[in-house]
Amino acid sequence: MPKYLLLKRYRGGPEPHHPFPPMDQWAPEDVEAHMAFLRHVNELLEQNGELVGAQALTPSRTFVRYGGPDAAPVTTDGPLPETSDLIAGWTMVDVESYERAVEIAAHISSEPGPGGGPMYEWIDVREVMWERPRTTDPA
């Protein structure tokens, strides 16, 4: 069965359906409702045998790259263009089809935001590559 990574982003992606303030500006009960919804989704996916893993991530980040054979890793916290596309969390599922991954992503997108209504958040659905990508070039 294919695995899919469902990515939630702090920013980036298509234009938001509804603009929401950052979660650190939400009322505590709205944060709890949001997180309870996601925990419930994970429980259902686990019961179905579809959940591989899921985590929420903080907005703090460190970019790291190889520094060379005789150097320490190079790190920075930005500012870089990539900071507009930070990942807020992820869910990895092992499902029968792409259509099932999209169905799960759409359900996650209905998570409650401030005030309890659905967020209509864009979820990035990415298939996990398990073999060398196919190319159109026969060479």
For residue 23, what pLDDT band results from cuts at 50, 70 and 90?
confident
Pick the CATH number of 3-64+74-127 from 3.30.1360.120, 3.40.630.30, 3.30.70.1060, 3.90.550.10: 3.30.70.1060
Percent of residues, the chain, with pLDDT higher than 70: 86
Residue 94 pLDDT > 90: yes
For residue 125, what pLDDT band results from cuts at 50, 70 and 90?
very high
Q: Express each pLDDT in 36-85 by its tens digit.
A: 999 999 999 999 999 999 998 887 778 788 989 999 998 887 655 555 56
Q: What is the 3-state secondary structure (H, E, C) of 75-123?
A: EECCCCHHHHHCEEEEEEEECCCHHHHHHHHHHHHCCECHHHCECCCCC
Q: DSSP class of residue 21?
A: -
In this prediction, residue 35 carries a pLDDT of 95
CA triple 76-78-79, angle to 5 deg: 160
- Domain ranges within the chain, ordered by starting residue: 3-64+74-127
Residue 135 pLDDT > 70: no
